[in-house]
A and B are shown apart, each in its own frame.
Chain A
Amino acid sequence: MPATIIQRNKKPFKKTKVDTVTIDIIESALRNARYEMDTVLFRTAMSPGIREQHDEFPMIANTDGKMVVGQFGSFIWGFMQGYDGTVEEGDIFLTSDPYSVNGAISHANDWLMLMPVYRGGRIIAWSAMFGHMTDVGGKVPGSLPTDGTTIYEDGIVVPPTKIFKAGKLNEDVLRVVLHNCRLPEWNLSDFNAITAALRTAAARCIEIAERFGDDVLYSAMDAMLERNKRAMRVLIRQNVPETKQFFEDYICDDGLNMGPYRIKCAMWREGDKCIFDFAGTDPQSISSINFLLNEEMFKMFAGIYMIMVFDPQILFNDGFYDLMEVRIPPGSLLKPLKPAALSCRTHALGRIFDILAGLLGQGNPDFMCGAGFSDSPHFMYSGYDKNGEWYQLYQITFGGIPGKPFGDGPDGHSLWPSFTNVPNEFLESYFPLRIDIYETISDTGGAGKNRGGNGLRIGYRFLEPGEISIHDDRWLTYPWGANGGEPGARSRKLLQRADGTESLLPSKIDHVKVEAGDLLIADTWGGGGWGDPLERATEQVAFDVAAGLVTAAGARRYGVVVSAAGKVNDAATVALRDEMRAKRGPKKIFDRGFESIEELKARCKAETGFEPPRTPVFTKWAKVAAEALLAKELAAKKLANKSLATKSVATKKKRRKAA
Chain B
Amino acid sequence: MSYRLGVDVGGTFTDLLLVHEKTGKTWSAKVPSTPADQSIGVLNGILRVCERAGIDPQIIDHVMHGTTVATNTVLTGTGARVGLVTTKGYRQVLQIARSYVPGGLGGWIIYNKSLPMAPLACTIEADERVSAKGEVVRGLDEEALRKSLRTLKVQKIEALTVSLINSFANPAHEQRVREIAIEELPDTPVSLSSDVVPEMQEYERTVTTVANSYVRPRVDRYVRNLKDKLAKVAKNAKLHILRSDGGLASASSAAEFPVNLLMSGPAGGVTGALWVAVQAGFPNLLTVDVGGTSTDVALISGGQPRLRRETTVGDVTVRASSVDIRTVGAGGGSIAHVPELTKALRVGPQSAGADPGPAAYNRGGTEPTVADANIVLGYLPEMQKLGGDMVLDRSLAMAAVKKIGDALGLNTRQAAQGIYNIVNENMVGALRLVSVEQGYDPREYALIAFGGAGPLHANALSRLLGSWPSIIPPGPGVLCALGDATTAVRDERARTYVRKFSETTAKEIEKILKGLATDASKGIEAEGVKKSEISTTYQVDVRYHGQGLRLSVEVNLGDLQKKGLKAISDKFDAEHKRLFTFTLPREHELVTLRAAVQGQGIKIKRPLLAKGGTDPKAAIVGKQKAFMDGKDVNAIVYDRAKFKAGNKVRGPAIVMEMDSTSVILPKHTGHVDKSGCILIYPDNFKAPKKAAGKRK
The reply to whether A196 and B339 contact each other, CB–CB distance below 8 Å, is no
Residue ID in chain B nearest A183 by CB atoms: B546
How far is it, in angstroms, between the C-alpha of A1 and the C-alpha of B132 when the chains are bound? 56
Do A313 and B339 touch across chains, with their CB atoms under 8 A apart?
yes
* Closest Cβ–Cβ distance, residue B129 to chain A (whole Å): 8
CB distance from B661 to the nearest CB of A (A): 23
- Stretch with Cβ within 8 A of A (4 or more), from B219-227, B236-244, B424-432, B470-478: B424-432
**Is A464 interfacial (CB-CB < 8 Å)?**
no
Closest to B338 in A: A20
At the interface with chain B, which of A44-52, A214-222, A324-332, A638-646? Answer: A44-52
Q: A440: CB under 8 A from chain B?
A: yes
Chain B, range 401-441, C-beta contacts under 8 Å to A? 408, 417-418, 421-422, 425-426, 429, 432, 436-437
- Asked if A316 and B200 make an inter-chain contact with CB atoms under 8 angstroms apart, the answer reads no
B229 at the interface (CB under 8 A from A): no
A413 at the interface (CB under 8 A from B): yes
**Chain A residue, CB-CB nearest to B138:** A436
In this assembly, does A176 line the interface, its C-beta being within 8 Å of a C-beta of chain B? no
At the interface with chain A, which of B93-101, B552-560, B686-694? B93-101
Given known contacts A411-B96, A421-B98, A185 and B106 CB-to-CB distance under 8 angstroms: no
Verify B119–A547 contact, CB threshold 8 A. Answer: yes
Distance from A354 Cβ to chain B, minimum over Cβ atoms (Å) = 13
Q: Is B203 an interface residue (CB 8 A)?
A: yes
Which residues of the other chain, B, contact A418 by a CB distance below 8 angstroms? 100
Asked if residues B345 and A21 are in contact (CB atoms below 8 Å), the reply is yes
**Does A428 lie within 8 Å of B166, measured CB to CB?**
yes
B137, CB-defined interface residue at 8 Å? yes
A305 at the interface (CB under 8 A from B): yes
Are A310 and B584 in contact, with the CB atoms below 8 A?
Answer: no
In order of increasing CB-CB distance, the 9 nearest A-B pairs are: A547-B120, A43-B549, A51-B548, A428-B132, A231-B341, A546-B121, A437-B89, A420-B98, A407-B112
Known contacts A20-B344, A401-B108, A548-B91; is-contact A28 B101 (Cβ 8 Å): no
Is B99 in contact with A304, judged by CB distance below 8 angstroms? no
Known: A28-B425, A547-B120. A429 touches B498 (CB 8 A): yes
> Cβ of A615: which chain B residues have Cβ within 8 Å of it?
none
Q: Are A44 and B549 in contact (CB under 8 A)?
A: yes
Bound state CA distance, A454 and B592, in angstroms?
A: 36
Question: B586 at interface (Cβ–Cβ under 8 A)?
Answer: yes
Q: Are B547 and A46 in contact (CB-based, < 8 A)? A: yes
Q: Mark A20-54, 1 if CB is under 8 A from B, else 0.
A: 11011101110010001001101111101001100
Does the CB pair A548–B120 fall under 8 Å? yes
Binding site for B on A (CB under 8 A): 20-21, 23-25, 27-29, 32, 36, 39-40, 42-46, 48, 51-52, 71-72, 185-186, 188-189, 192-193, 195-196, 199, 227-228, 230-231, 234-235, 300-301, 304-305, 308-314, 316, 369, 398, 401, 404, 406-421, 423-426, 428-429, 434-440, 456, 459, 543, 546-549, 566
In the complex, number of A-B residue pairs with CB atoms less than 8 Å apart = 218
Query: In the docked arrangement, what's the CA distance between A192 and B119, Å?
Result: 43
Report the minimum CB–CB distance from B457 to chain A (whole Å).
15
Residues of B with C-beta under 8 A to A404:
108-109
Q: Is A420's CB under 8 angstroms from B100's CB? A: yes
> In the assembled complex, which residues on chain A have CB atoms less than 8 Å from the CB atom of B421?
21, 25
B685 at the interface (CB under 8 A from A): no
CA distance A314 to B108 in the complex (A): 16
Interface residues on B, range: 35 or more
A533 to B204, CA, bound (A): 35
| A36-B437, A417-B104 known; A196-B165 Cβ under 8 A | no
- By the criterion CB–CB under 8 Å, are B548 and A43 in contact? yes
What is the distance, in angstroms, from A629's C-beta to the closest C-beta of chain B? 31
Known A-B contacts: A44-B549, A408-B112. Give 13 more (CB < 8 A): A21-B345, A36-B436, A43-B580, A46-B548, A230-B343, A305-B109, A316-B104, A401-B101, A404-B108, A417-B107, A424-B202, A425-B200, A548-B120
What's the minimum C-beta distance from B443 to chain A, rounded to whole angstroms?
11
Q: Quick check: is B450 within 8 A (CB to CB) of the other chain?
A: no
A196 touches B103 (CB 8 A): no
Which of A369, A429, A456 lies at the interface centre, i.e. has the most chain B CB atoms within 10 A of its CB? A429
Q: Which of B90, B109, B113, B120 contacts A438 (CB 8 A)?
A: B90
Q: Provide the bound-state CA to CA distance between A559 and B121, in Å.
A: 22
Most chain-A CB neighbours within 10 Å: which of B100, B166, B339? B100
B96/A438 in contact, CB under 8 A: yes
Whether A24 pairs with B104 at a CB distance below 8 angstroms is no
**A425 CA to B133 CA in the complex, in Å?**
10
Q: Mark B206-220, 1 if CB is under 8 A from A, else 0.
A: 000000000000000
23 pairs from A and B in contact (CB 8 Å cutoff): A36-B436, A43-B548, A43-B549, A44-B580, A44-B582, A46-B547, A46-B548, A48-B548, A51-B547, A196-B580, A227-B343, A230-B342, A234-B341, A301-B105, A316-B104, A418-B100, A420-B98, A421-B96, A423-B98, A425-B201, A428-B166, A436-B89, A566-B121
Q: How far is the CB of A439 from chain B (nearest CB, A)?
A: 5
Contact of B103 with A20 in the complex, beta carbons under 8 Å: no
Most A CB contacts (10 A, CB to CB) among B93, B106, B166, B408 go to B106
Query: Which residues of the other chain, A, contact B101 by a CB distance below 8 angstroms?
Result: 401, 410, 413-415, 417
Contacting pair B166 A406 (CB below 8 A):
no
Question: How far apart sit A547 and B544, CA to CA, in the bound complex (Å)?
Answer: 41
B201: which of A44, A305, A423 is its contact (CB, 8 Å)? A423
Mask for B319-349, Cβ within 8 A of A = 1, else 0? 0000000000000000000010111111000
- Residues on A with C-beta less than 8 A from B92 are 411-412, 438-440
Query: Are the CB atoms of A417 and B95 closer together than 8 Å?
Result: no
Q: Are B548 and A227 in contact (CB under 8 A)?
A: no
Chain A residue contacts of B120, Cβ below 8 A: 546-549
Which residue on chain A has the smallest CB distance to residue B547? A46
User: Is the beta-carbon distance between B429 and A428 smaller than 8 angstroms?
Assistant: no
Residues of B within 8 A of A (CB): 89-93, 95-96, 98-101, 103-113, 119-121, 129, 131-132, 137, 165-166, 168, 200-204, 339, 341-346, 408, 417-418, 421-422, 425-426, 429, 432, 436-437, 498, 544, 546-549, 576, 579-582, 584, 586
A440/B341 contact (C-beta < 8 A), A196-B581, A425-B201 known: no
User: A188 vs B585: C-alpha distance in the bound complex, in angstroms?
Assistant: 10
Q: Secondary structure of the B side of the interface?
A: loop
The contact of A189 among B203, B425, B547, by CB within 8 Å, is: B547
User: Across the interface, which residues of B come within 8 angstroms of A196, CB to CB?
Assistant: 580-582
B105 touches A413 (CB 8 A): no
Give Cα distance in the complex from A28 to B429, angstroms.
8
Q: Which of A51, A404, A412, A424 has the most CB of B within 10 A?
A: A424
Closest to A414 in B: B99
The smallest beta-carbon distance between A480 and chain B, in angstroms, is 17
The residue from A313, A434, A437 contacting B346, defined by CB atoms under 8 A apart: A313
Q: How far is the CA of A426 from the CA of B168 in the complex (A)?
A: 12
Other-chain residue from A186, A193, A308, A411 in contact with B106 (beta carbon distance below 8 A):
A308
**Which of A228, A310, A412, A459 touches B99 (beta carbons < 8 Å)?**
A412
**Taking CB as reference atom, which chain B residue is nearest A396?**
B99
Give Cα A424–Cα B201 distance, bound, in whole angstroms.
7
Complex Cα spacing A51 to B544, Å: 13
Q: Which of B89, B345, B580 is within 8 Å of A20, CB to CB?
A: B345
Q: Which residues of A lie under 8 Å from residue B576 when comparing CB positions?
A: 44
Is A20 within 8 A of B343, CB to CB?
Answer: yes
Closest approach, in angstroms, between the C-beta of B657 and any C-beta of chain A?
30
Q: Is the CB of B342 within 8 A of A428?
A: no
> What is the chain B residue whose CB lies nearest that of A413?
B99
Neighbour of A304 across the interface among B106, B344, B422, CB < 8 A: B106
Q: Contacts of A409 on B, CB cut-off 8 Å? A: 108
Would B96 and A311 count as touching, CB distance under 8 A? Answer: no
Q: Tell whether, in the assembled complex, residue A308 and residue B109 are in contact, meaning their CB atoms are under 8 Å apart.
A: yes
**Chain A, residue nearest B112 (CB):** A407
Chain B nearest CB from A106 CB (Å) reads 15
Nearest chain B residue, comparing its CB with the CB of A204? B436
Asked whether, in the complex, the Cβ of B342 is within 8 Å of the Cβ of A438, the reply is no
A175 to B579, CA, bound (A): 26
B548-A42 in contact (CB<8A):
yes
Nearest residue in A to B168 (C-beta to C-beta)? A425
Q: What's the least CB distance linking A294 to chain B, in Å? A: 14
